């Protein structure tokens, strides 16, 4: 199937499952939250292992969560899967003017594109704090990375002079950021090498 027909068929399947399956009928956004977290983690695991068949399967499980939440919202009249797709498409157009606002190929670097994205995002969302819009349940390394990206002038302790483990970890996150390394991914890779899966 091409041209999105499989996505339309799956939407019909989810509506039917929601109507005809007692377990699925009972679910709410809140009851499904843990499954969204689990499927996201399993998708990252598939990426880490490089197993593309596993990645395809996990992306399907993640897509199931997106459609499940959209169908629940559709039932209450809150929004539909089309609203979700339209919203993300509009956001991509706004935040990527170098692609959608131009007929010429971009001469921008990846770093310049990221800076443009962050600037547009900041303009769209009035923030009172660097933590606004960052999920508090993020893993600590990812939380530190996102906050340091938003506040590049943050006062980061000197890892060589501090005896506090938290200070040293924050300094390592800042070091990784300066080197263009994702500390969350680097630590996952290091753990995988230290303790290979059985």
pLDDT(63) > 70: yes
Asked if 147 and 109 sit in the same domain, the reply is no
pLDDT(197) > 80: no
Asked if 25 and 61 sit in the same domain, the reply is yes
Confidence band of 132 (pLDDT split at 50, 70, 90): confident
Its domain, for residue 55, covers: 5-79
The total domain count for the chain is 3
Residue 119 lies in a domain: yes
Asked if 120 and 142 sit in the same domain, the reply is no
Q: What is the 3-state secondary structure (H, E, C) of the chain?
A: CCCCHHHHHHHHHHHHHHHHCHHHHHCCHHHHHHHHHHHHHHHHHHHHHCCHHHHHHHHHHHHHHHHHHHHHHHHHCCCCHHHHHHHHHHHHHHHCHHHHCCCCCCCCCHHHHHHHHHHHHHHHCCCCCCCCCCCCCCCHHHHHHHHHHHCCCCCCCCCCCCCCHHHHHHHHHHHHHHCCCCHHHHHHHHHHHHCCCC
Asked if 119 and 167 sit in the same domain, the reply is no
Residue 92 lies in a domain: yes
83-122 per-position pLDDT tens digit: 999 999 999 999 999 999 877 778 889 889 888 888 888 7
Asked if 72 and 95 sit in the same domain, the reply is no
174-186 per-position pLDDT tens digit: 999 889 898 988 8
Asked if 73 and 21 sit in the same domain, the reply is yes
Asked if 69 and 10 sit in the same domain, the reply is yes
Residue 20 lies in a domain: yes
Check which CATH number belongs to the domain holding 36 and give it: 1.10.287.1080
What's the whole-number average pLDDT of the chain? 89
Residue 197 lies in a domain: no
Residue 198 lies in a domain: no
164-170: average pLDDT: 90
Residue 139 lies in a domain: yes
Whole-number pLDDT of residue 23: 97
């Amino acid at each position: 199937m091409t041209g999105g027909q499989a996505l339309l068929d799956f939407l019909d399947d989810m509506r039917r499952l929601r109507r005809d399956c007692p377990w699925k009928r009972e679910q709410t956004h809140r009851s499904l939250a843990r499954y969204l977290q689990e499927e996201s983690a399993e998708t990252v695991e598939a990426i880490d292992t490089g197993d593309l068949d596993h990645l395809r399967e996990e992306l399907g499980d993640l897509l199931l969560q997106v459609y499940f939440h959209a169908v629940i919202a559709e039932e209450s009249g809150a929004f539909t899967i089309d609203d979700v797709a339209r919203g993300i498409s509009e956001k991509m157009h706004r935040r990527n003017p170098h692609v959608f606002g131009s007929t010429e190929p971009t001469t921008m670097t990846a770093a310049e594109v990221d800076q443009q994205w962050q600037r547009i995002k900041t303009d769209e969302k009035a923030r009172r704090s660097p933590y606004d819009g960052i999920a508090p349940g993020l893993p600590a390394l990812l939380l530190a990375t996102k906050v340091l990206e938003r506040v590049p002038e943050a006062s980061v302790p000197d890892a060589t002079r501090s005896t506090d483990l938290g200070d040293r970890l924050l300094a390592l996150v800042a070091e990784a950021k300066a080197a263009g390394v994702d500390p969350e991914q680097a630590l996952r890779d290091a753990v995988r090498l230290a303790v290979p899966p059985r």
